[in-house]
Amino acid sequence: MTKGNPVKKSRPSLLLDAIRSEERFRLLVEAVKDYAIFMLDPQGNVASWNEGAQRAKGYLTSEIVGKNFSKFYTHEDIASGLPEYLLRQAEENGRIEVEGWRVRKDGSRFWADVTLTAIRNEAGKLIGFAKVTRDVTERRQNEETLRAKQAEINQLQKVEALGRLAGGIAHDFNNLLAGILGCAEAISPVFTDDNPAREDLQAIEEACARGRLLVQQLMAFSRRQVAAPKTVHINSIIEGMAQLLQRAIGSTIELHLELDPTLNAIRMDVSQLEQILMNLALNARDAMPVNGRLTIRTANTWVDETNVIDGLPDRPCEAIELTFSDTGIGMSKEIMSKIFEPFYTTKAPGKGTGLGLSTVYGIVQQNKGGISVFSVPKMGSTFKIFLPAQGVVRKNQPLQTEKLSDMFERHRTELILIVDDEPLVLRNTVRALEKVGYSVLSASNAETAIESFTKARGKIRLLLTDIIMPGKNGKELADQLQRQDPMLKILFMSGYSAEIIAEHGIMKEAIALLEKPFNAINLINKVREVFGNAL
Ligand SMILES: Nc1ncnc2c1ncn2[C@@H]1O[C@H](COP(=O)(O)OP(=O)(O)OP(=O)(O)O)[C@@H](O)[C@H]1O
Ligand SMILES: [Mg+2]
């Protein structure tokens, strides 16, 4: 070939190159896995499909070619005409880029970043669209998490600022209250008991007392409260506040006090204690919108590893137990798991700040105590607060387990069946009874308990069961097992008092009941009592 005819020579190779490069391009597009790249005809029907498209949307080429691309859109988008609108936009503008939900073959959704480009021939006629879609769900989720975190930080900053402000106001307000109270006290001797102004004076004093509580709440919230612990007798604080509490809960709720006259003293800041009482009473009020009863009970107790109480120190100690029991709406397990979180509230906006129980929790922890909660929807709630008793040297001696196990030697053949859906309670109860020589079987629900009972063929002497459990309740279980063995002894355990249980009609007759949380001494004594040989 001569030098003068280069065109002739290169033409076939150029064409070949073009074909090859088109083939390479097609292969490249087909092989792309991270992007769905496909072509649509002018009406929006799928004309080509790559591996990325198959991965993103789940359709095989044979399933989707020829079908309209609106298949990838949500029902809402189809109903609003979005697919058609996007095609026309791309046609008019040459290219559009949008983000939105798309639907896979299996019906699941993903957040897509879509580029739609109109393709025209040399004459300018629309011959179709190239569509590139990328699944950016993860990116969107990350952005959302980031946005939520930012909102959380903003909220925390707001709360922090609010806390500072509240602390400042509380401080000044406290001084004002002190002034008012001081004046009220100063003029008090002027008014004799028969003076009609005496009632007004009393109202001023009560209003000041309420104001003081409010201040403490605000101060606790802004963490400015300085605790001044001293020896206190809870009973007298409760009695002193009874009128105020009754007024706070309203006349439709009956306030019941059951205060143990032998109650040990504790060491605590009085205003912190008042705050606990007020918060628990107000929560009980909100849980009983129509009517009901709030029982406040105090008792001496011994805390050991058998009591399952959040936040209590590990070492056993002599403690006092403060119980607030209401007959209100109760709580689901899900709500119960969150109630001590700051700002957690189920109340309508403006009705609750969600700071009440987190403040109570903080105070109890600061005083090395613990809280336990028992609640079931529609059954009411029981909050128990345990605070270390002051200066009491082991009045309730802990169990001398070796000696006791000798004494219980003869029980070894008596089997006890323990049923509770709370694994921790179950484990600790089993452990405490085994420690003193009883043989025990355990079950986490009534159904398993029935199986164990049948297998044990009359060897079980005592059923120790929780009352409120998912599935069959403790009472139904006891009835069924007692029908099989009328000699079977029954001891119930519950976070509720016998009174409340009777009130809800679960149990009409008198029952042997062990109130939760209990310690090893309560447990063993009660078991022995049921067997008729209490210590
Ligand atoms: N006695 C109770 N019965 C039923 N639910 C309760 C009871 N006490 C607390 N709760 C639940 O726990 C949530 C948190 O209580 P918490 O006292 O921390 O906040 P709050 O009462 O909602 O608001 P605040 O106390 O700040 O006015 C309540 O919103 C409610 O759902
Ligand atoms: Mg509250």
Supply the DSSP string of 443-499, one letter for each residue: ESSHHHHHHHHHHHTT-EEEEEEESS-SSS-HHHHHHHHHHH-TT-EEEEEESS-HH
Ligand 1 lined by 342 (C-beta under 6 Å): no
Give the helix ranges, DSSP H, for 325-396: 333-336, 356-366
Q: Whose CA is closest to atom 29 on ligand 1?
A: 345
pLDDT recorded at residue 4: 43
Q: Whose CA is closest to atom 7 on ligand 1?
A: 283
pLDDT recorded at residue 310: 55
Cα 377 to ligand 2 centre (Å)? 17
Q: How far apart are CA 272 and CA 278, in angstroms?
A: 10
Residue 177 resides in a domain: no
Domain match, 391 and 413 both = no
Q: How far apart are CA 218 and CA 516, in angstroms?
A: 33
Cα 395 to ligand 2 centre (Å)? 35
Domain match, 353 and 501 both = no
Ligand 1 lined by 331 (C-beta under 6 Å): yes
Domain match, 516 and 409 both = yes
Domain match, 352 and 446 both = no
439-443 vs 460-466, strand pairing mode: unpaired
CATH number, domain with residue 49:
3.30.450.20
**What is the per-residue pLDDT across 233-270, written as a single tens digit (0 to 9) for each?**
999 999 988 988 898 898 899 999 999 999 999 999 88
Q: Whose CA is closest to atom 4 on ligand 1?
A: 330
CATH number, domain with residue 359:
3.30.565.10
Beta pairing partners, 103:
109
180: enclosing H helix or E strand? helix 137-187
pLDDT recorded at residue 7: 45
Residue 43 resides in a domain: yes
Residue 130 resides in a domain: yes
Domain match, 386 and 444 both = no
Q: Which ligand is located closest to the Cα atom of residue 359?
A: 1
**Total domains, the chain:** 3
Those residues whose C-beta lies under 8 Å from the C-beta of residue 309, and which sit 6 or more positions away, are 303, 370, 371, 372, 384, 386, 517
Q: Which of 345, 359, 496, 500 maximizes ligand 1 atoms within 8 Å of its Cβ, making it the mutation to test the pocket? A: 345
Domain match, 518 and 432 both = yes
- Positions of the chain with pLDDT under 70: 1-16, 18-19, 152-160, 220-227, 305-315, 350, 392-413, 503-510, 533-535
Distances (CA, A) of 14 to 19, 22, 155, 193, 280: 9, 12, 66, 117, 88
Is-contact 105 95, C-beta < 8 A? no
Last residue of a domain, one of 135, 167, 184: 135
Residue 331 resides in a domain: yes
Q: Whose CA is closest to atom 9 on ligand 1?
A: 283
Ligand 1 lined by 280 (C-beta under 6 Å): no
Q: Whose CA is closest to atom 25 on ligand 1?
A: 356
Token pair 């001696």 in the structure block, residue = 397
Q: How many CB atoms neighbour CB 201 within 10 A? A: 16
Domain match, 248 and 330 both = yes
Q: Whose CA is closest to atom 10 on ligand 1?
A: 283
Ligand 1 lined by 369 (C-beta under 6 Å): no
Domain match, 356 and 444 both = no
CATH number, domain with residue 455:
3.40.50.2300
Q: How far apart are CA 432 and CA 397, in angstroms?
A: 15
Domain match, 69 and 131 both = yes
pLDDT recorded at residue 3: 43
Cα 224 to ligand 2 centre (Å)? 20
Q: How far apart are CA 342 and CA 358, in angstroms?
A: 5
Ligand 1 lined by 347 (C-beta under 6 Å): yes
Q: How far apart are CA 318 and CA 314, in angstroms?
A: 12
Supply the DSSP string of 58-110, one letter for each residue: ---HHHHTTSBGGGGS-HHHHHTTHHHHHHHHHHHHSEEEEEEEEE-TTS-EE
Domain match, 365 and 386 both = yes
Cα 359 to ligand 2 centre (Å)? 9
Q: How far apart are CA 263 and CA 319, in angstroms?
A: 10
User: Which atom of ligand 1 has the smallest separation from the CA of 345?
Assistant: 29
Is-contact 311 362, C-beta < 8 A? no
Token pair 């399933």 in the structure block, residue = 63
Ligand 1 lined by 253 (C-beta under 6 Å): no
pLDDT recorded at residue 442: 94
Residue 521 resides in a domain: yes
Residue 263 DSSP label: P
User: Which atom of ligand 1 has the smallest separation from the CA of 383?
Assistant: 1
pLDDT recorded at residue 2: 41
Ligand 1 lined by 439 (C-beta under 6 Å): no
Query: Length of the chain in residues, anyone?
Result: 535
Residue 450 resides in a domain: yes
Q: Which ligand is located closest to the Cα atom of residue 214?
A: 1
pLDDT recorded at residue 350: 66
Last residue of a domain, one of 91, 119, 135: 135
pLDDT recorded at residue 445: 94
pLDDT recorded at residue 37: 93
Question: SS3 for 133?
Answer: strand
Q: How far apart are CA 261 and CA 276, in angstroms?
A: 21
Domain match, 345 and 437 both = no
Residue 8 resides in a domain: no
Last residue of a domain, one of 135, 151, 174: 135
Residue 512 DSSP label: -
Q: Whose CA is closest to atom 19 on ligand 1?
A: 354
Residue 198 resides in a domain: no
pLDDT recorded at residue 393: 57
pLDDT recorded at residue 54: 93
pLDDT recorded at residue 13: 67
Ligand 1 lined by 450 (C-beta under 6 Å): no
Q: Whose CA is closest to atom 1 on ligand 1?
A: 284
Domain match, 451 and 373 both = no
First to last CA, the chain: 122
Structural domain of 271: 234-395
